[in-house]
Amino acid sequence: MVERLPAPEGMRWVEGAVTAPQGFRAAGVRCGIKTEGPDMGLLISAIPAKSWGLFTTNPVKAAPVIVSQSRVQRGRARGIIANSGCANCCTGPQGIADAEAMAALAAQGLGLATEEMLVASTGVIGAFLPMEKVRAGIDAAVQALSSEGGPDAARAIMTTDTVPKSSALEFSLPDGRVLRVGGIAKGVGMIEPHVATMFAFLTTDAPLPHERGASLLRLAADSTFNCLTVDGDMSTNDTVLLFSNGAAGGLALEADSKEEGLFLTALEAVCADLTRQIARDGEGATKLVEVRVSGARSTVDARRLAKAIANSNLVKTAFFGNDPNWGRILMAAGNAGVPFDANTARVTLAGYTVFELGRPAPFDAAQVSRAMAAEELTVRFEVDQGDAEVVVYTCDFSYDYVRINAEYTT
């Protein structure tokens, strides 16, 4: 399990995941879509809520993405019904009908309008949902809803994840109001998000104005989920949703105010915590890796360099073997399409400088290898072109990554 970073100043981590904020209930049940474990999750706000979403930019989009992407534009969704074990992707008109039916069944059970429910699915591509099991699962999830059900929902959306992923943070505004942000996520393979991530469902009892939620969500995702890669492959089902029900009371947070700044800090912290959990639980991973690039001309250049390093199979296998092979890191950076001068670059592994100013730095390979064996590894790549910095989260590649994906459908 990845070690949680300290909460931002004046804030504290709390339990409860997506049900930590006031007014949210959730459930996770088993209906038999998967061979074992819970596979149907439900999240709902007990009172009207605003909603915003980010979705995969892969042109191959799953049916639930198409349905939810259309509905979230209304900005008034109350919740999400989500299954694991079947992606409902590349399933044609029947897939769309099944996704709409999932949302309708959940809405009916909750006494809501169909348009108020969003839908998400994850699992094997090309399989149709077993709708009889889905119906039974939705009925059970509605009955199991609880203000303490956030952790159950986190377990229900897992596929090849080995652990559920959840986070929640509490903070106070200058006027004394106490607000919370919560989240759950899933995903350990087929992960290099663009605009969104695998699944990340976020909740808050903060009163957000509708016109600000989308930009705040995008800002938080851009520095967290969009700086994540496990294997360089973007999913067909990536979905990030934020629900705000204002249950904490008071006036809506004003744009660019101190109060909104505090909320964004909390939202980014929750998203970063979930991002780190996903990277550490990458398929077959043995360690969380942070690739930190600094001194680039722009954030775009810094991200390209960091992603090139983080996505290199040769680099990732070296991380698995605790091999301080800095040559692979330079090779990968050189493939990023970002010009830089190796004579002014520096590479640091686990706190040890291994390359600088165009030549190897003196270091004890055995000592650095031992340091690289920790469950969290930081790699720094510094260029001398500007002041842009980026952190990208990834993991190593082990033998198990190949095994898991070679046997995924067989």
Which single residue is written with the structure tokens 């090849």? Answer: 160
Question: Per DSSP, what are the bridge partners of residue 169?
Answer: 13, 181
Which residues participate in catalysis according to the annotation? 197
Q: Output the pLDDT for position 191.
A: 56
Average pLDDT of the chain?
A: 94
Looking from the CA of 293 toward its CB, the CA atoms found within 13 Å total 30
Q: What proportion of the chain, given as a percentage, has pLDDT over 90?
A: 86
Q: Output the pLDDT for position 190.
A: 61
Structure tokens at 364: 């004890």
Position 17 pLDDT exceeds 80: yes
- Tell me how far apart the alpha carbons of residues 172 and 254 are, in angstroms, rounded to a whole number: 16
pLDDT tens by residue, 323-369: 999 999 999 999 999 999 999 999 999 999 999 999 999 999 999 99
Least confident of 1-15, 257-271, 295-309: 1-15
For the segment 374-378, the average pLDDT, to the nearest whole number, is 96
Q: Output the pLDDT for position 251.
A: 94
Position 235 pLDDT exceeds 80: no
Q: Output the pLDDT for position 237.
A: 82
Least confident of 17-26, 187-196, 399-408: 187-196
For the segment 239-254, the average pLDDT, to the nearest whole number, is 96
pLDDT tens by residue, 46-79: 999 999 999 988 889 999 999 999 999 999 999 9
Q: Output the pLDDT for position 194.
A: 55
Q: Output the pLDDT for position 15.
A: 97
Confidence bin at 402 (pLDDT 50/70/90):
confident
